[in-house]
Amino acid sequence: MGWKDAIEGKPGDLVLLNGNEAIARGAYEAGVRYASSYPGSPSSEITETLSRVPASDLYAEWSVNEIVSLEGATAASFAGLRAMCTMKADGLNVAFDFLTSMNLGGCKGGLVLTVADDPQGHSSVKEYDSRYLAKSAMVPVLEPSTVKEAREMAIKAFDISEQIKGPVLLRSVTRVSHSRGLVRLGALAQERKKAEFPVGQRFLTKTLFHMKARDRLIQAAIIFEECKFNYTEGPDRADTVIFCCGTSLLYAREAINILGLQGKIKLVKIGTTFPLPERFILSNLQGVKNVIFAEEIRSFIEEGVMLIYARHNIGNIRFYGKISGDISGVRGPFCGEMNPDIIIKAIARVKRIQYEAPGYSPETIVEFSTMLPPREYAMCPGCPHRASFWAVKTAIAVDSRDCIVAGDIGCYCLGAWDTGYNLFDSLHCMGAGPGIASGLSKLEKFGLKRPTLTIVGDSTFYHAVIPGLINGRYSGSDFLCIVLDNSVTAMTGHQPHPGSGISNHGRSTTAIPIEEIVRGLGIPCAITDPFENDKTAETISSTLREPGVKVLILRRECALVAARKHQHKKQRVYVDQSLCRGESCGCGRFCTSVWGCPGNIWDPVAGKAVIDEAVCAGCGVCATLCPAGAIIAEEVDK
C-alpha cells in the first residue's frame, strides 16, 4: 500500500515506495493542484496515488485520452497553479499536437508532463523513446535513476517549469516506475496559490513563438549546467568513462564492481537529458580515450555527446554504444531493455578482460530449458473477452466469407494470439481498428470481397473510436464494430472511464453509455451478454450481413472486478466425469485444448476433463459449450 505512505506519511518518514508513488509524492510536496492522466502501464500509479489526496487540496482526473488530459492540466498552469499530466509513452503521440502548440506560447504555473517509457515492452506493444518527441517539441527532459531521485526530480521539475515558463517532461521507465526503494519524505508546500486568469492574460500559438521555445531551451541548458542531477562517480581522471542515465547508473556501478575496476572507470551520470549540459559533458571528455553509453531504448545521449565531441577539438576518443553495436542485449542494439550484463560485456571488451558470469554450462541450460514450457499470456478465468472471442470465432465460421478482423489495444489485444483464437488480422494503436475496417470496406470495387469487423474496448471507445465511427458512417463504409464493454479500463488496473459513472475520487458521476453515443451518430447499436454465447454468435452473424456501419456492444463486467465485488463465486462449476467422454468424444478435448481457460484442466489418470476449482471463477460458460453436457454449473448460496 505505497499510496498510503506516499500521501499520509509525515515529513522525515523513511518509506518504501515505487517510482510512481515517489513521483506522486514529489508532486504533492511541490504543491500540485491538478493531476490528470489517461491510464497506461507503467505510469498508472502516479495518478492513482494523487487521487488519494483530499479533493479539497487537489483535482485528479482520469481523462478520456491524453490530449484532453494535457489540455486540462495546462489550463491549470495558465491559471497559475502547479499541474502534472501523466501518460505512457504511446500516449505522448496522442497529446503531441497540443504539446507542440502549447510549448510555443508557454505556460505559467509549474507544468510537469510525466511520461513512462516501457523498454522491452513489458506491458506495451511497442518500446518507445519519448525523449525524441520531447526534443522535437522543444521540451526539456529530466530522467531519474532511482526511486529516491524520482521524488526529487518531480519537485525540481515544477521549479524549472516556472523558471522557463514552459512545460518540463519527466521521463520515467518501467524499471524506475515499477521499482521500489526507500524514500525520505519531505514537507508539503505551505503556499496555497489561488487560481487566477487575469483579464488580458493570453496564451496563443504563433510561428514567431518558435523563438520563445528556443530561448526557453537555452535557459534550461544554463540551469542544467549547475544541476545536482548531473554528477560523476569514481576517479577524477580515467581513460574510460561511462555516460549513463536512468537505472543504467546502477547497472554501470555494479558492472564496475563485478569486474573489480573500482577507481579505474569514471561514471558520468546525466539526469538532464535534454538539452544536454554541454560544459559539464565537455569537461568529462577531456583526456578520455574510451566512452561507453548506457541508456534505455535509443541512442539519445550517445548522439548528443558525439555531436558535442564533433564540435570541439578534444583528441581521439572511441565511442562504444548502440550505434557502434557494443551496447547490445539478446535482441541486439536499440531493442530490449538495459541490464548490468550488457554493460559488463561492453566494459570487458573495452578493457580487454575476460569475464565469465557464474552460472551453468550451456549444455545444462539448453537441456533443462527445453523441459520448461513457455508461459504465454492468457485471459483470466471467467474473463468475458474469452466468451466474446469464441462468439466472434463461431460467427465468422458460420458466415464463411473469411471476415477480416481489425484489433485494438487493451487486455483484448490477446485476440491476436492463441488465447484469443488468433482472431486479429491487424493490431496497432488505440482506435486503429475502426479506421482500418472502414478503409478495407472501401476496397470492394478493387476486388476485396472479405467483410470487415473490428473489436475495440470500452475505454478505447471513448478514447479514440468515436471519430472512426463518424468517419465510417459519413463515408458510407461497411463494417461491424464490436465493443467489449467490461465497465472499466481493465488492463491498466481498473480505472474508471466515462461509462463507469465514477470519478477519480470515488464519487459517482453521470455515466455516458456507449449506446447513447452510437445511436446519436445514427449508427444502429445492439447489446448482448457474451456469456449467452449462442445468442451472441447469432447476433454477430446476422449483423455482419447488414449494410453500413453497425455497433454491437458485448457487455459483461471484468471477472476481476466481479470477483472483488461479490467475494464468493455465484456458481460452482465441475465436471461430471461419468458424462465426459474423454478422448473418444470427438470434441478434441474442447474445454482444455480449444477453449483455453486456466480453470479447465485435464485429468490424465481418468483421461477426462476436470475443473481446477482453485482457479475457476464460476462463470459457467464452458458448461454451455461442452458438447457432452458433462460440465455442470450449479448455483451456490452466496
Partner 1 sequence: MKDPINMVITGVGGQGNILVSEILAKAASVEGFRVTVGESYGMSQRGGSVSSHIRLSRNCLYGPIIPAGHVDIIVGFEPVEAARIALELGSPNVKIIVNPRPVFPVHVLMGKCEYPPIEDLLDKIKGITAQTLIIESTVLAAQVGDPVVQNIIMVGALAGSGYMPIPRETFEEIITRVVPQKALELNQKAFKIGFETAQNINRS
CB of 184 to partner 1, least distance (A): 12
Q: Which is nearer to partner 1, 253 or 550 (CB)?
A: 253
Give dist(CA 432, CA 425) in Å, integer. 12
One-letter identity of residue 27: A
Give dist(CA 505, CA 57) in Å, integer. 12
Q: Which is nearer to partner 1, 243 or 251 (CB)?
A: 251
Cβ(20)–Cβ(43) under 8 Å?
yes
Residue 474 makes contact with partner 1 by CB under 8 A: no
Give dist(CA 105, CA 165) in Å, integer. 9
Residue 179 makes contact with partner 1 by CB under 8 A: yes
Cβ(268)–Cβ(248) under 8 Å?
no
Select from 414, 514, 525, 617 the one that contacts partner 1 (CB under 8 A).
Answer: 414
Give dist(CA 480, CA 544) in Å, integer. 6
Residue 357 makes contact with partner 1 by CB under 8 A: yes
What is the DSSP secondary structure assignment for residue 495, as one 8-state letter? B
Segment near partner 1 (CB under 8 A), from 79-87, 282-290, 534-542, 588-596? 588-596
CB of 583 to partner 1, least distance (A): 11
Segment near partner 1 (CB under 8 A), from 25-33, 52-60, 196-204, 369-377? 369-377
Give dist(CA 16, CA 598) in Å, integer. 34
CB of 152 to partner 1, least distance (A): 14
Residue 601: CB partners within 8 Å, gap ≥ 6? 592, 609, 610, 611, 612
Segment near partner 1 (CB under 8 A), from 57-65, 89-97, 271-279, 335-343? 335-343
Residue 328 makes contact with partner 1 by CB under 8 A: no
CB of 343 to partner 1, least distance (A): 9
| Binding to partner 1 in span 146-175, by CB under 8 A | 146-147, 174-175
Residue 41 makes contact with partner 1 by CB under 8 A: yes
Give CA separation, 637 vs 568, 576, 634, in Å: 9, 20, 10
One-letter identity of residue 470: I
| Binding to partner 1 in span 490-529, by CB under 8 A | 490-491
CB of 49 to partner 1, least distance (A): 15
- The three state secondary structure string of 62-105 is ECCCHHHHHHHHHHHHHCCCCEEEEEEHHHHHHHHHHHHHHHHH
Residue 459 makes contact with partner 1 by CB under 8 A: no
One-letter identity of residue 618: G
Bridge partners of residue 320, in order along the sequence: 292
Residue 358 makes contact with partner 1 by CB under 8 A: yes
| Binding to partner 1 in span 542-561, by CB under 8 A | 560
**Helix, coil or strand: residue 11:** coil
Residue 411 makes contact with partner 1 by CB under 8 A: yes
Q: Which is nearer to partner 1, 219 or 592 (CB)?
A: 592
CB of 178 to partner 1, least distance (A): 5
**Helix, coil or strand: residue 605:** coil
Phi, psi (rounded to 5 degrees) for 601: -125, 170
Select from 192, 372, 449, 568 the one that contacts partner 1 (CB under 8 A).
Answer: 372
> Looking at 425-548, which runs of residues are DSSP E strands?
452-457, 479-485, 525-528
CA 377 and chain centroid, separation: 16
Residue 352 makes contact with partner 1 by CB under 8 A: no
Segment near partner 1 (CB under 8 A), from 178-186, 204-212, 434-442, 626-634? 178-186
Residue 536 makes contact with partner 1 by CB under 8 A: no
Number of chain residues interacting with partner 1 (CB under 8 A): 67
Cβ(406)–Cβ(432) under 8 Å?
yes
Cβ(322)–Cβ(145) under 8 Å?
no
CB of 409 to partner 1, least distance (A): 13
Give dist(CA 116, CA 296) in Å, integer. 12
CB of 330 to partner 1, least distance (A): 11
Q: Which is nearer to partner 1, 251 or 531 (CB)?
A: 251
Segment near partner 1 (CB under 8 A), from 193-201, 308-316, 410-418, 469-477? 410-418
| Binding to partner 1 in span 229-258, by CB under 8 A | 247, 250-251, 253-255, 258
What is the DSSP secondary structure assignment for residue 413, as one 8-state letter? G
Give dist(CA 335, CA 250) in Å, integer. 20
CA 113 and chain centroid, separation: 15
Residue 378 makes contact with partner 1 by CB under 8 A: yes
x/- contact string, 597-626, with partner 1 (CB under 8 A)? xx-xxx-----------xx-----------
CB of 175 to partner 1, least distance (A): 5
- Residue 591: CB atoms within 10 A of its CB come to 26
Q: Which is nearer to partner 1, 277 or 382 (CB)?
A: 382
| Binding to partner 1 in span 99-138, by CB under 8 A | 118, 122-124
Cell numbers standing for residue 529: 451478454
Q: Which is nearer to partner 1, 137 or 411 (CB)?
A: 411
CB of 231 to partner 1, least distance (A): 15
Select from 10, 126, 180, 311 the one that contacts partner 1 (CB under 8 A).
Answer: 180
**Residue 240: which H helix or E strand, with range?**
strand 240-244
Give dist(CA 496, CA 504) in Å, integer. 7
Residue 368 makes contact with partner 1 by CB under 8 A: yes
Cβ(334)–Cβ(299) under 8 Å?
yes
- Residue 584: CB atoms within 10 A of its CB come to 7
Residue 353 makes contact with partner 1 by CB under 8 A: no
Give dist(CA 458, CA 433) in Å, integer. 13
CB of 396 to partner 1, least distance (A): 20
CB of 373 to partner 1, least distance (A): 4
Contacts with partner 1, residue ranges (CB under 8 A): 1, 14, 16, 18, 41-42, 118, 122-124, 146-147, 174-175, 178-182, 247, 250-251, 253-255, 258, 339-341, 344, 357-360, 364-365, 368-369, 371-380, 411, 414, 418-419, 490-491, 560, 589, 592-594, 596-598, 600-602, 614-615
